[in-house]
Amino acid sequence: MERIGKWLRLVNDVVWGPYMLAFLLGTGVYLMIRMRFLPLRNLGYALKCVVGLDGGQPGKRSGTRGAAGKKTGRGKAPRGDVSPFSSLMTELAATIGTGNIVGVATAMVLGGPGALVWMVLSALLGLSTKFAESMLSVTYRTYNEQGKVSGGPMYTLARALPDRRLGKRLGALFAVFAVLASFGMGNMTQANSISASLEAAFGIPPACTGLAVSSLTILAVLGGISTIGKVTQVLVPAMAVFYVLGAGLVIWKNLGNLPEGAAMIWKMAFSREAVAGGIGGNLVASMSQAMRWGVSRGVFSNEAGLGAAGISAAAADTDDPVRQGYISMTGVFLDTAVICTVTGLMLAASGVLGAKDASGELLTGTALTIAAFSTAFGAYGAGIVSIGISLFAFATIIGWAYQGEKAFEYLAKKPGCCLAYRFLYGFFCFIGAVCTLEIVWDFSDIMNALMAVPNLLGVLLLSKTACDGIRKYETLRKGL
C-alpha cells in the first residue's frame, strides 16, 4: 500500500505539473481574450441573473433556443428539470467543500501565503472556461430514454465535434474519469473529512458518522436532481453565510493584523524566494510554489476547467444557453474569489500561519483553520470549524452524486442503472468515513486532472460556438 501511495504521489506531481497549469490558465486566457473579457466585464450582470434581476433574457426574446436551435426526437429543444438557481446551487454544492477550508490552508502552507493570489487569479480566468463549458453543455444536451434531460461535456464532445468517432471516445474518457472522481473527490474524501472533524471536536465515532452520512446521502439522492436541487438551494446559501460570518468575525477580531497579512500575501505571490516573517512565521516559498499550489487548490475548489459543473448546468430549465453560462460562471467567483479569499485573509490576519504543533510540525489543513478560529472563539473554534467542514463536505457529496450519476448513465446507456449507482454511492460514504484515505486524496487529484484534458480539448475545439454566442448575446442585451 505504501508503494501505491508513493506511485500516486509521483503521478499527481506529474499531472499537476507546469504543463497542466499552463493548459488550464492558457485556456482561460485564450477564451477571455476571444470573448472580449465579457465574462469579467459582465460579472455584475451575471450575479443579477442568479436572482432574476437581469431585466430580461435577450436570447429568449430573439428566438434562440437550447441545443443551438436543434430539436430532439421529441420535436422540441430539451429543457431541464430544475430552475436555473437550483442548478447553480447544485454546482456550488459540488464545489464549495473542504477545498474552501482545508484546501486554502494547505495551499498557504505548502505554497506560501502568496498561493491565495494565484487561487483568485486562476478563478478570474476560470470565469471564461466555466462559462464556455456550461453554455456548451446546455446547448448540446438531450433527452434520455426516461424523458429526463442529460448533458455535460461527454454529450458535448459526442454530439458537437465534427469527428464523431473522436468525440465519442473523448466523451467516454471524460465520463470514466468523472465517475471515478465522484467516488473519490466527491464522496470518500468528503465523508472522511466529516468523520475526522466530528471525532476531533465532539468525540463522535467514525462508524456512527459514516452510518449517518450514508443514510442522509441516500435519502437526498434517491429522488434524483429534483430532490438534490431542493436540498442544495437551502443548504448551500445557509452554510455559506454561516461560514463567512464566522470567518469574518475572526478577521474583525484580528483587524489590526490585516494590512500586514494582506501585504505578505501579495509580496509572496510574486517573489522568487521569500520568507513570510512577522505574522507569517518562517514560511519559505517561491513564486513557482505559490503558483503550483494556488492554481491546483483553486481548481480543486471551484472546478473551472474540469467540466463537471456542465452536467449540473444542463439540468437547468431554460432555453437560453448563454444566460445559463453566465449564471454558472458565478459559481467560480462565489467559491474562490469570495469564500476562499475570506479563508485566506482570516488565516493571514489571525497570525497562525507558520505555527507548529506539539511535535514541531507545521500546522496545516483543518488544524490550521481551527487555530485561526480559536483566536476569536477560543475553545469553541474547533466546534465551529467542524460544523463548517461537515456542512460543506455533505453538500459536496450530494452535488457530486448527480454529476457522477449522469456520467455513469452515459457509460451504461441505461438510465435504470442509476438507482444502483445511488445506493452504491451512499455505501461508499460509509467506507470513506471509517477508513484512512491519504491515497484517495492523491487519486482524486489525478482524476481531476484527467477529467480536465478531454473537457478543455472540447472547449477549445468548440470555442467559436461559445465566443460567437456570448458576443451575439451582448449585442442583443445592449439592444434591450
DSSP code per residue over 97-124: SGGGTHHHHHHHHHS-TTHHHHHHHHHH
**Whole-angstrom distance, CA of residue 175 vs CA of residue 405:** 10
433-462 confidence digits (pLDDT tens): 887 767 777 777 788 888 889 999 999 999
Burial code of 378-415, b = ≥16 C-beta within 10 A, e = fewer?
eeebbbbbbbbbbbbbbbbbbbbbbbbbbbbbbeeeeb
* Res 280 pLDDT > 60: no
The separation between the first and the last C-alpha atoms of the chain, rounded to the nearest angstrom, is 62
- For cell 453560462, the residue is 325
Q: What is the pLDDT of residues 25-44, one digit of tens each?
A: 899 999 999 999 999 999 99
- Asked whether the beta carbons of 142 and 423 are under 8 A apart, the reply is no
Of residues 324, 466, 330, the one with CA closest to residue 35: 466
Topology of domain 35-59+85-478, CATH: Amino acid/polyamine transporter I (1.20.1740)
Mean pLDDT of the chain: 82
Alpha helices in 270-316 (DSSP H): 287-302, 308-313
List the single range of 61-75, 108-122, 282-296, 298-312 with lowest mean pLDDT. Answer: 61-75
What is the spatial distance between Cα 435 and Cα 292, in angstroms, rounded to a whole number?
29
Q: Give the span between the Cα atoms of 92 and 77, in whole angstroms.
A: 26
Please write the tens of the pLDDT for every residue from 395-437.
889 888 888 989 999 998 877 778 888 999 989 899 888 877 6
CA dihedral sign of residues 148, 154, 155, 156: positive
Tell the burial category of 375 from Cβ atoms under 10 Å away from its Cβ (0-12, 13-18, 19+).
middle
Confidence category of residue 76, pLDDT binned at 50, 70, 90? low
Res 16: pLDDT: 74
Q: What is the pLDDT of residues 308-343, one digit of tens each?
A: 888 988 888 888 899 999 999 998 888 888 888 999
